[in-house]
Amino acid sequence: MSTQWTAPGAHGSGEPSPPSNAGGGPPGPLSAPPPGGPRRELVQSMPLFPLRPLGLGEVLGAAVRIYRLRARSVLGVAAAVYGVAFVIMTFATGASMVPMMGDMQAVLEDPAATTATPTAFGSVGDVVLMVVSSAVTMIISLVASSLVTVALTRVALGEAVGEHLSTADMWAVMRRRGLPAVAVTLLIGLFSSLAFVVLLVLGMLPLILLQEATALTIIPLVIGLVAAVLVMLWIWARTVLAVPTLVLEETGVFGALRRSFAMTSGRRLWRVLGTTILLYLLYTIAVQVIVGVFSTIAMILYVAILLISSFEALLLGMAVLTIISMVGSYAATFLLAPFLSAGYVAVYADNRMRHEAWDVELTRRAREHWDGVRVR
């Protein structure tokens, strides 16, 4: 006697039937807790990364998944902040290039002018202008990066625990925690720069004193340079979690730095260092690809302008080259800022879940949020 066919998983087929939704509410993505107690992981309600210690692929997946979840919000905030920053940096760069372009234009118009010897004041003034412009560009870049990281850090963790952060809330977080984050970033940059300069100068001392390039002077220079780079890398690895700590733990400037040092102490450092280096390497490669496309277009237009104008429109060509190159840097920076920020948040969360059982706290927050959504 034949029996009626039933679909796998249907009642009576020998397979467990799916939970019903008799209450009429939306089907919840949270799985029911097992009989042995509450689970430490939510399977489907954590779209950015699972709430447990993460693997390398899950960290990279979180860095990419932020675009699928909140592309419009995160890219909008990044574009606005970096847009203001790049306008300032473009003017600073252009101001430093004006004397050089003026000299080049004068040489093209009057080759005999090359016999004139420039004054020491003019040469020193050009150098000072270039140094000031570079300093302004670096500081503005650090400030913009800090502000964007603050907003994206908060929204990334919100996506991990199911708390949707609106664009207005992102701006509010940036206003509230932006200045401390800028202070943290500038302090890290200052410490790194001082360490690099001190070690490099120590390595250069034999060359400065002996004034001769020999093995006794070159080897200390190389050792000093390598040591300076390694110390900068060490400082970066020990402080890379400072801004996420500042935002997510509501600490102060020095508290965030101390906390970052504590989270990267001992054997914890190597996992953080390896993962963040890989994230930054992928970020840098992607930035260079985008910048390379814009630079190629800028160079083609620059050469075309020079050829069409018989090399008379040098200033116009340099202006077009500079503007398009800056636009390329701007596009690459704001497009890839969410990748880096979400990746760092995943590294921060992995560190705390791995060593502090933070996944229990995050799971509780996620369940409370889901219960609140179902009640509403």
Tens digit of each residue's pLDDT (9 = 90 or more) over 21-55 = 444 444 444 444 445 444 444 444 446 899 999 99
pLDDT at 275: 96
Residue type, 163: E
Q: CB burial class (10 A; 0-12, 13-18, 19+) of residue 348? A: buried
pLDDT at 72: 92
pLDDT at 18: 43
* Rounded Cα gap, residues 281 and 289, in angstroms: 12
pLDDT exceeds cutoff 70 at 199: yes
Q: How confident is the model at residue 111 (pLDDT cuts 50, 70, 90)?
A: low
Q: Where are the alpha helices (DSSP H) in the chain?
A: 56-109, 120-161, 167-210, 215-239, 242-248, 253-263, 268-308, 314-356, 358-375
What is the tens place of the pLDDT at every residue in 85-102? 988 887 777 666 655 655
Closest CA relative to residue 71, chosen from 287, 332, 338, 284: 338
* Rounded Cα gap, residues 257 and 262, in angstroms: 9
From the centroid of its chain, how far is CA 51?
A: 23
Give the three-state DSSP class for 99. helix
pTM over 0.85: no
* Rounded Cα gap, residues 249 and 257, in angstroms: 12
| Lowest model confidence (mean pLDDT) among 83-92, 191-200, 215-224, 353-362 | 83-92
Give the three-state DSSP class for 212. coil
pLDDT at 346: 95
Residue type, 341: S
What is the tens place of the pLDDT at every residue in 258-273? 999 999 999 999 999 9
Considering the chain, what is the average pLDDT of its residues? 81
pLDDT exceeds cutoff 50 at 249: yes
- Cβ–Cβ under 8 Å, residues 301 and 271: no
Closest CA relative to residue 373, chosen from 154, 45, 22, 39: 45
> With left for phi above 0 and alpha for psi between -120 and 50, is residue 26 left, alpha or beta?
beta
